[in-house]
Amino acid sequence: MHKVPNIIKELKEEESEKYLINLSDILKEKPNIDEIECLDFSRELKNLDSNINLLKTYKHIIENSSIAIMFTNHKEEIIFLNDYAEKLLNFKKTDLLIRHVSSIFPPDEWKKINFHNISKKGGEYQFETKMIKKNRLSIDIDLSFNILKNKEGKTIGSIGIMRDISDYKKRELNFKIKDYAILSTINAICFTNMSLFITYVNPSFLRMWQYDSEKHLIGKSLLNICKFKENFLEKINDANENNFWSGELLAEGDSRRLFALQTEITLLKNKNNIPNWIMISFLDITQKKRMQKKLELKNEEIKQLLVQKDEFINQLGHDLKNPLNPLLNLLPILYNEENNAERKKIIYVLNRNVKYMKDLVCDMINLAKLNSSNTQFNFEFFNFNTLVNETIDNNLALFKEKNIAVKNNTPKNIKIKTDRIRILELLNNILSNSVKFSNDYSKITISAKKKKKFFEVSINDNGIGMNDEQLKKIFNEFYKGDSSRHNFESSGLGMTICKRIVEKHGGKIWANSPGINKGSTISFTIKYDN
């Protein structure tokens, strides 16, 4: 059972004493009690019953109240708390009874309350504070309490009423954050009624439209302040249908300055879902639009230059390629007919350099074609495993020269839509590169796997590997990495060509390597259906 508060006990004892006094007075009278005295006695008994019932009613109301109520004695010890207070603080009543009331307040909050001085002054008090729950978390409380005194004016305790305002404080904080955000944002924000008459503007709005005070704007039509070059009311109607509108607008200020504005319109509705306010946010993107226009012009210039470059390379390639063909045909004949060892060596060097020049010219022409938007690929469905086997067969002599084992681990039943000539060129370039930078008796593995709409292929070798810088530049034009890659067998365009082929297939290509002398992996993706 809960301990009965001393205050209620004292009231009960006072009523009981009153009853005993009245009863003893009656018994002192003579035994012959007349009718009037009987009526007085009956009335006293009824009054006593009425007061006791009233106390019971008060206790019932306090116990079952939907607000937290707590009593303390003159020592500031908790002597009673109702069920709601128990629930609010998450304590059992027995945990708190006879504890000093300061134990349920954070120390700094208890100092603010200054309870000792208040208890001396007496009276009613109300303020916001914090209390500690059983889990040691604090909650925001609206606290109202009365200092209770007896007839002699001596403090006998207090009664406190506590209301949890944690949710209110959170909302209040959110409002403050929003207020701060509106005041500090670079967006020019204004609120209007449904007739577009301004009710509020933030500092950014004043700066944007060159006003020194909001008093020049409040009550005026937004349409007179911001002279929109488009039908602004249509945007309001769109926002009314969707609760929100966002887009770009062109407007003119009083200084006749034109603004390109990123605009957001939000309709604020009441509890009945009827819009009664409009919040409009403007962001000046005039400078951004100017820079964007400049970038577009520069991009167009660069595109034109790239087209001219590709056309020049293509034409130059053909002009160089034709004179090289006779040399490539004649030099081997001269080499075979020459008996002088020194001259034979010179012819060999000439032939090697001419062959390198032709390969370079051919790669440049090939890359120029791949860079051109006019180049069309002939897409058909092919079994990818078969294409890999065909590439391996075409390079058997190259693999045998260094005793390199090549393993085809690609699925046998996967068909992709691809340009057969280009995909064979892609595989050939990557495999040739792997062989070139692999040691004798090493291994190359070709694997593939499905990935949603893509088919991912990986070609792994255990050759000389690459560092981070080489991995970043491997697909750049004419990049050869380091001295070990500078030779007459490479134009430095092979991997660039691979990148263009993959991109024309709608995929991506990348390289991985654990480091120097730890091998490399070239991976690329191709869509199933191009």
pLDDT one-digit tens code per residue, 275-286: 889 999 999 998
Do the bridges between strand 509-512 and strand 155-164 make them parallel or antiparallel, or are there none, so unpaired? Answer: unpaired
Percent of the chain with pLDDT over 70: 82
Token pair, residue 220, equals: 């005026």
pTM of the model: 0.45
Over its length of 530 residues, how does the chain's per-residue pLDDT go in tens digits?
Answer: 444 444 444 444 444 444 344 434 433 444 444 444 555 555 555 565 666 666 677 777 888 888 899 999 888 899 998 989 889 898 888 888 999 988 999 988 888 777 556 666 667 788 889 999 988 888 999 988 888 888 888 888 888 898 998 888 888 777 777 777 677 788 999 999 999 999 999 999 998 888 888 888 999 999 888 888 888 888 888 888 888 899 999 888 766 778 889 999 999 888 888 888 999 999 999 888 889 889 888 888 888 877 777 777 667 666 666 777 787 788 888 888 888 888 888 888 888 777 777 777 777 777 777 777 677 778 888 899 999 999 999 889 889 999 999 999 999 888 888 888 888 889 988 998 899 888 899 999 999 988 878 889 999 998 888 898 888 888 887 777 655 444 545 667 888 888 988 988 889 999 999 988 888 999 999 887 65
Burial of 178 (0-12, 13-18, 19+ CB in 10 A): exposed
Instruction: Give the tens place of pLDDT for each residue, 214-253.
Output: 888 999 999 888 888 888 888 888 888 888 899 999 888 7
HSE-up (13 A, CA, CB side) for residue 146:
5
SS3 510: strand
Token pair, residue 378, equals: 């002939």
How far is 8 from 429, CA to CA, in rounded Å? Answer: 98
Distances (CA, A) of 112 to 34, 164, 344: 64, 19, 105
Comparing CA positions, the residue from 381, 406, 405 lying closest to residue 391 is 406
Q: State the sign of the Cα–Cα–Cα–Cα dihedral 368, 370, 374, 375.
A: positive
The H or E element spanning position 494 is helix 494-504
In contact, 367 and 311? CB cutoff 8 Å = no
Task: Map tokens 């090289």 to a residue.
Answer: 324
Q: In what order do the strands lie in the sheet with 509-512?
A: 405-409, 443-451, 454-461, 520-527, 509-512
How far is 487 from 63, CA to CA, in rounded Å? Answer: 96
The H or E element spanning position 141 is strand 138-149
